[in-house]
A and B are shown apart, each in its own frame.
Chain A
Amino acid sequence: MKKLFFFAATLIALGVLVSATRSGNNPYGLKMGTPSIQSISAIAFGPDGILFVGDSKSGAVFAIDTKDKTMVEKASTAEIKNIDQKIAAVLGTEAKNIRIQDIAVNPVSKKIYCAVQASNGTPVLLSLEGDKIQAVDTKDILFSQVSITNVPGEEVKDRNGRPVRDQAISDLSYSDGSVMLSGISNQEFASTFRKIPFPFGDKQEQSSLEIFHAAHGRYETNAPIRTFTTAELNGKKYLVASYTCTPLVLFPLDELQPGKHVKGRTVGEFGAGNSPIDMVTLKKDGNSYLFMANSNRPVMRVSFRNIESYQGALTEPIKESYATAGVNFISLPVVNVLQMDKLDDTQVVVLQRRTNGDLDLWIGRADRWI
């Protein structure tokens, strides 16, 4: 009887050991393997050093464990001049053959990560250690993935059974247990905004939302979101979205539920020919400020206090011109910003094309910008 007991106990122990090493009982459902990343359109950090990678080509979002979990309070990252040339050099090519697609800062370690695309399409993930560029391991790592190829609305089946629409991922973000992603179709004039619970489940629980804005409360367009972020106003969480048609729109995060048709509140318009690139929120003296980097306009600063106090007025359709009705914004003397991300509560990392053509990575201090 004892022998049987020990035998059974050993088997159970082995079983537990085997299953533990296989899946690691990873709290985020990550499994060991090599993700097949075909392109990197956008990157964003989740909890515990998990990096989300938006891959337009394979129509998926990957969650990869960077194992970069050591907490650092204040970032000590150096600036890198001519970062495109340095990245090209460590990849063994010339600057014209690479493109920095996105940068993201690990909020735990404050390390800067860069998503780079080669001209032949090879995606590359790098991290910066001071001014040293390092490779991010994407082979034999803990990861998971979720497909984003299912599209909202009814489809006639493709005659060959494949999903046919390609989607460019314009922005990616993580907040409160969900990955959020804005995508733009390469066919119809439309975008999808998805909220995907993380850890990724087997069931496609993601909600695909129709979020609208109305210019002057009159002309309504289902326009694509170019960039977005989340922010807290008056204790409530909002999605702050910047559209390709220029308006800045707010949506209460708790209203973004599957199947819902959510209309946001336009808080302002930011001018002709404006293409927003990145948005970050920084704090100073207890006040929050939204900073928007634009393709061919200076970085703009909007005070959340102005947005908060503005809300009441927007329930009515606006009849006057947006030049006076929109929330005030300040243009900073910072132009040609290609990427921007929050480094810590008081600093932001900026990738900027200087007037002499150099592409530099530098750190901006919030107290200089506010």
Chain B
Amino acid sequence: MNSCKPAQHCVDDTNIFNKARSLVIWGLALLLFAGCAEHKNDKGFITIYWDGKQATGFSVPRSLLTDFSKDSVEDLLKVRLAKIQLDMLGEYTVSEDSVVFKPMMALTHGLTYELVWRGQPLAQIEMPKVGNFANPEVNFIYPSGDSLPENLLKLYVHFTKPMQEGQAMKYITVVRNRKDTISSVFLDLDPELWNKERTTLTVWVDPGRIKRELQPNKALGPPLQNGNHYEVLIQPGWTDAEGTAIVKPFRKEFVAVKRDEASPDPGKWTIFTPKPGTRTPVIIELHEPLDHEVMIHAIAIADSKGNVLKGTIATLKGERALYFLKDQPWASGKYTLLVEPRLEDLAGNNLERVFDKDILTDTVEKKKGIYKRTFLIR
């Protein structure tokens, strides 16, 4: 029986369709509420909990739940995707006037959910598409140079937004000499190598093919060869964590040059020092391009007391140089350049060993530990 007060949206048991429809409408209307966790729900309609852009659950007023039983609420109130018979897993919280259902995962934008009470449909709610509509893009790819050694080991792809994992090999292709699409260049790694924010992806050129004498190298040859032109293409369709896809393709072109088989040598770097009292950065010429991500984390400068200085490190000239910018002007004195032995060049040779060490011929033991080199600012 209809026992509604005027101007109040109530549930009329005698007309399920009207009830469902009105609840859909009200459900949609309420989606604009930025949710806070209030358990008081005496309005007579189902509300949605929001945590920022994520819809985390439904709050069902107990007035809608006939023959309520607190102990069996999990068996009596079910939530599922519309048209799917499987009940969703989640947490039920019962309060004086409502039952809150929070699924294990945030509700998905654009899908329709159905709430069922005692086996009867209670409401259908369609989630709107809410979110940052800006499409993710590729910002840059390192190494940025256009001549790369044929035993190049890694690429770093930088995105503007956190991306979804597990899709890289679907959207990265390589074209050789502007005509042949070549496969098996990159290693299909699972797990993919992302930074914590999921905005930088590290991709490896198949090391099994680069490494001398392994079967893949002998059977298929190295993936990149001296003298060829290559284009790495990031195709549209790759989705970010919110489900929005890349629309703009990104191309990186380069020519492969001869193998790099030597470890980087910080002793050969040229250090350009600023005048004391200025904030001009210290600039270091590396004389070869080095691995961008490792470089900016594995190099530091310490003062004469051994304190590591705070500042900004960034690369220049296709990663053939780097600068170190301090917040404060440089004082004159002795400084020490510190380089971790894991610093790599583009072929994965680090300070302590080359990528694939020929133990028959390469018998000189390189010095271990942090490389130190002092310089003066005066």
Contact = CB atoms under 8 A, between A and B. Distances in A.
Interface of A: 41, 56-57, 86, 89-94, 97-99, 101, 117-122, 124, 126, 133-135, 153-160, 164-166, 168-170, 184-190, 214-223, 226, 244-247, 269, 271-275, 277, 295-296, 321-323
B88 A186 contact: no
Contacts of B190: 275, 277, 295
B213 A219 contact: yes
A153 B187 CA distance: 26
B308 A157 contact: yes
Contacts of A41: 191
Contacts of B220: 272-273
B162 interface: yes
Interface string B186-197: 011111111110
A91 B214 contact: no
Contacts of B54: 120
Interface string B170-203: 0000000000000010011111111110101010
Given A120-B242, A154-B341, A246 B191 contact: no
B86 A90 contact: yes
A182 to B, nearest CB: 11
A41 B187 CA distance: 18
A271 B208 CA distance: 9
B89 to A, nearest CB: 4
Given A91-B88, A273-B184, 20 more contacts: A93-B108, A93-B111, A101-B191, A120-B106, A120-B243, A121-B198, A134-B89, A135-B89, A153-B340, A156-B338, A168-B191, A169-B191, A186-B200, A214-B359, A215-B211, A223-B211, A226-B189, A244-B187, A272-B184, A273-B208
Contact of B294 (A188, A269, A272): A188
A91 B202 contact: no
Interface stretch (B18-26, B224-232, B269-277, B296-304): B296-304
A156 B307 CA distance: 10
A122 to B, nearest CB: 5
Most buried by B among A89, A188, A272: A188
B344 interface: yes
Contacts of A221: 207, 211, 355-357
A168 B192 contact: yes
Q: Which 3 A-B pairs have the closest CB atoms?
A: A156-B300, A272-B216, A89-B86
Contacts of A158: 297
Secondary structure type dominating chain A contacts: loop
B333 interface: no
B188 A275 contact: yes
Contacts of B89: 90-91, 126, 133-135
B243 A119 contact: yes
Contacts of B103: 91-92
B79 to A, nearest CB: 7
Contacts of A165: 297
Nearest to B183: A273
B293 A166 contact: no
Contact of A92 (B113, B310, B341, B355): B113
Given A133-B89, A273-B184, A166 B196 contact: yes
Interface string B315-351: 0000000000000000000000011111110001010
Nearest to B302: A156
Nearest to B311: A159
Contacts of A272: 184, 208-209, 215-216, 219-220
Contacts of A118: 105-106
B154 interface: yes
A275 B207 contact: no
A253 to B, nearest CB: 25
Interface in B58-91: 79-81, 84, 86-90
A90 B104 CA distance: 9
B81 A92 contact: yes
A119 B344 contact: no
A318 B228 CA distance: 33
A104 B377 CA distance: 58
Contacts of B207: 189, 221, 223, 244-245
A118 B109 CA distance: 14
Nearest to A186: B193
17 contacts: A89-B86, A92-B80, A97-B108, A120-B242, A122-B106, A157-B308, A159-B300, A166-B194, A187-B202, A188-B342, A214-B359, A217-B359, A218-B358, A221-B357, A245-B208, A275-B187, A275-B190
B188 A184 contact: no
B60 to A, nearest CB: 15
Given A156-B300, A215-B211, A188 B353 contact: no
A22 B303 CA distance: 49
Given A89-B80, A218-B360, A220-B357, A295 B215 contact: no
Given A92-B105, A221-B355, A245 B214 contact: yes
Contact of A56 (B191, B213, B294, B299): B191
B241 A120 contact: yes
B357 A122 contact: no
A220 B359 contact: yes
B215 A159 contact: no
Given A119-B164, A166-B196, A244 B242 contact: no
Nearest to B298: A156
Nearest to A326: B215
A273 B208 CA distance: 8
A217 B359 CA distance: 8
A126 B353 CA distance: 44
> Which of B211, B294, B356 has the most C-beta atoms of chain A within 10 angstroms of its own C-beta?
B356
A189 B191 CA distance: 15
A316 to B, nearest CB: 13
Given A219-B356, A221-B356, A99 B165 contact: yes
B369 interface: yes
A219 B211 contact: yes
Contacts of B117: none
B279 interface: no
